[in-house]
């Protein structure tokens, strides 16, 4: 089933709800890079989170969510935009930790210390950058803390992935409820009780609940504002990688030419490879020299 993101206005116009599935996008990355179950679980949570953050953006704005914990997976980076496009990867996809009861151990995978960085390109002079510490590595609680501290928006978040025996995601998704400034104490209590009463998101999704069902389950009177297909999309190109090589500077490029005489670059997000011949590297070297002047 196609991944989607749904945005709704709920609780008497006092909150927004976002609900998303990222199963297809996650399996696309997982299959390509042979992700182990714990790594797939971690990337799926971050993907769902970033996709919903993308849903809070306008037009050409973009967001990068970077999780850097002390766990084995290393860095996790996911980019998202307002049109349902996401791309992401984990530094070490080949890590796997289970709890004693057989569930996946996200604390060992992601870590319980480290930094969450949110970079929003809002097409202003400078991007918005927010940092908060990792609290427990489950991502949902960590990101709720981020929203409360960094953006002063009280937010409830649930994220989940269910990995099957073939190390593929059976489901991946999440929801997020954000209070609007006019939210009353009564509504806040109502939302808190509702969130506590809900089963785990991965349970709901594997029972066949769609993002729309989940929103209606949270508030049956919710008004649907927007439904966007979510898809993995990488915007890498040889030109982008050429600019990357150029940014190394003339000395570094000269070293590559002298040592290897060629370069093969790989996109972390989609796995595409771009080859640069000696002639192309010499062109870039000459351009780097010109740029210095």
Which residues of the chain form contacts with Zn ion (CB under 5 A)? 234, 236, 267, 269-270, 272
Q: What are phi and psi of 237, to 5 degrees?
A: -160, 165
At closest approach, how far in Å is the CB of 27 from Zn ion? 17
Taking the complex as a whole, the smallest distance from the CB of residue 273 to Zn ion amounts, in Å, to 10
Q: In terms of DSSP H, where are the helices of 182-277?
A: 185-197, 201-206, 211-218, 238-246, 250-259
In DSSP terms, 186 is beta-bridged to: none
Place of tokens 């990101």: 143
In the complex, least distance from residue 234 CB atom to Zn ion, rounded to whole angstroms:
3
CB of 235: closest distance to Zn ion in angstroms? 7
Residue closer to Zn ion, measured from CB, 25 or 270: 270
Structure tokens at 158: 């649930």
With respect to Zn ion, which residue has the nearer C-beta, 267 or 282? 267
Quote the CA–CA distance of 37 and 34 in Å, as a whole number. 9
How many H helices and E strands in the chain? 10, 13
Q: Which is nearer to Zn ion, 81 or 142 (CB)?
A: 81
The Cα 257–Cα 159 span in angstroms is: 46
**By C-beta, is 214 or 236 nearer to Zn ion?**
236
Nearest CB to Zn ion, comparing residues 8 and 51: 51
CB of 236 vs Zn ion, minimal distance in Å: 3
């Amino acid at each position: 089933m196609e991944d989607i993101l749904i945005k709704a206005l709920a609780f008497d116009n006092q909150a927004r709800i976002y609900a998303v599935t990222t199963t297809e996008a996650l399996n696309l990355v997982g299959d390509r890079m042979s992700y182990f179950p714990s790594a797939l679980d971690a990337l799926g949570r971050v993907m769902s989170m970033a996709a919903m953050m993308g849903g809070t953006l306008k037009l050409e704005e973009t967001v990068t969510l970077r999780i850097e914990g002390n766990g084995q997976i290393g860095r996790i980076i996911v980019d998202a935009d307002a049109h349902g496009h996401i791309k992401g990867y984990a530094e070490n996809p080949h890590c796997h930790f289970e709890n004693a009861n057989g569930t996946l151990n996200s604390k060992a995978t992601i870590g319980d210390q480290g930094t969450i960085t949110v970079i929003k390109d809002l097409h202003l002079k400078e991007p918005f950058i927010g940092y908060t510490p990792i609290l427990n590595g489950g991502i949902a609680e960590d990101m709720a803390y981020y929203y409360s501290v960094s953006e002063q928006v009280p937010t409830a978040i649930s994220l989940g992935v269910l990995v099957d025996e073939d190390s593929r995601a059976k489901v991946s998704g999440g929801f997020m409820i954000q209070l609007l400034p006019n939210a009353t104490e009564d509504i806040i209590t109502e939302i808190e009780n509702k969130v506590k009463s809900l089963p785990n998101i991965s349970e709901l999704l594997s029972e066949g609940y769609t993002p729309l069902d989940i929103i209606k389950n949270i508030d049956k009177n919710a008004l649907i504002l927007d439904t966007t297909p979510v898809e993995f999309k990488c915007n890498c190109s040889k030109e982008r990688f050429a600019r990357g090589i150029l940014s190394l500077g003339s000395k570094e490029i000269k070293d590559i030419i002298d040592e290897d005489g060629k370069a093969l670059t790989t996109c972390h997000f989609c796995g595409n490879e771009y080859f640069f011949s000696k002639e192309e590297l010499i062109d870039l070297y000459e351009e780097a020299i010109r740029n210095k002047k």
